[in-house]
Amino acid sequence: MAMTCPRCGAGLDITLFEFERAVQCECGQWVDLHSGHRRRAEIALFPIGQKILSASPARVHKESVMPEQQIGRVTHYFGNIQVAAIEITHGTLRVGDTIHIKGHTSDFTQTVESMQIEKKPVQEAIAGQTVGIKVKEHARPHDVVYKVES
């Protein structure tokens, strides 16, 4: 089965589109299953003259995202109370900060409502401490925790 490029009519093998990938046609346009062609401005992300005929990452263009700083990682998740144990490895984390938890199957953003260290509420945690934070979605060990800069 093939998908036809709307610009030049070239046939692209449908298996190249597995896992939400985008493919660059020989005419230079990016094609994906959901939105068809990508805008030409997004092609500027690749060096001029580079010919890419294989699959590329799902998101060719960057969405407008807030800058993030890695601050730690999830060490444990307590499913019965929906709390993630997060080891702070860089910087500080305060109540009210927005965090982004990203892992193999996890990817969500939330505001830190409260934190605990050894069952005692705290307002701030620094590098080297492990805190418990109630999370809105399932987090998994080794998920990376980012602090979203506002």
Do 18 and 49 share a domain, yes or no? yes
Give the number of domains in the chain: 2
Output the furthest CA–CA distance in the chain (Å, rounded). 64
> Of residues 143 and 10, which shows the higher confidence score?
143
Residue 116, beta-bridge partner list = 121, 132
Give the confidence band of 1 by pLDDT, cuts at 50, 70, 90: low
Do 73 and 47 share a domain, yes or no? no
123 falls within a domain? yes
pLDDT tens string 91-124: 999 999 999 999 989 899 999 999 999 999 999 9
Do 74 and 143 share a domain, yes or no? yes
What share of the chain has pLDDT > 70, as a percent? 68
131 falls within a domain? yes
Give the confidence band of 46 by pLDDT, cuts at 50, 70, 90: very low
Q: Tokens for 30?
A: 């990016």
pLDDT tens string 76-91: 999 999 999 999 999 9
Do 72 and 143 share a domain, yes or no? yes
In the block, which residue shows the tokens 């490029």? Answer: 5
Q: Cα–Cα–Cα angle for 101, 103, 107, nearest 5°?
A: 50
141 falls within a domain? yes
Average pLDDT over the chain reads: 77
61 falls within a domain? no
Q: Tokens for 17?
A: 């589109």
42 falls within a domain? yes
Structural domain span for residue 109? 68-148
Do 126 and 76 share a domain, yes or no? yes
Do 79 and 13 share a domain, yes or no? no
Considering the entire predicted model, what is its pTM? 0.56
Do 79 and 46 share a domain, yes or no? no
63 falls within a domain? no
